[in-house]
Amino acid sequence: MTTALAPSSALSAADRCDRCGAQAYVRVTLTSGGELLFCAHHGREHSEKLRDIAITIHDETGRLEATPTVTVDDER
């Protein structure tokens, strides 16, 4: 008895960018049936092209902004 993974299941720390090996925040399902994983940087870099070849783009880059690592307080 197995539970099928939902196609839109959340990305985990084990998912890695196909380009650089960083943690993946974007999952792209291609019209060909394949799947690509990108970090926030490469997801953004390829987003224009991906829109042409992807069925769905699952984007979790918003989670990055929700996790502040640096406090920027020198705006003046």
Residues that bind Zn ion (CB under 5 A): 17, 19-20, 22, 39, 42
- For residue 28, what are its two tokens? 């792209």
Beta bridge partners of 12: none
**Residue recorded with tokens 């640096």:** 70
State which residue, 23 or 29, has the beta carbon closest to Zn ion: 23
Q: What is the largest CA-CA distance in the chain?
A: 60
- Please count the residues of the chain: 76
State which residue, 12 or 71, has the beta carbon closest to Zn ion: 12
Tell the smallest beta-carbon distance from residue 20 to Zn ion (Å).
3
Tell the smallest beta-carbon distance from residue 38 to Zn ion (Å).
6
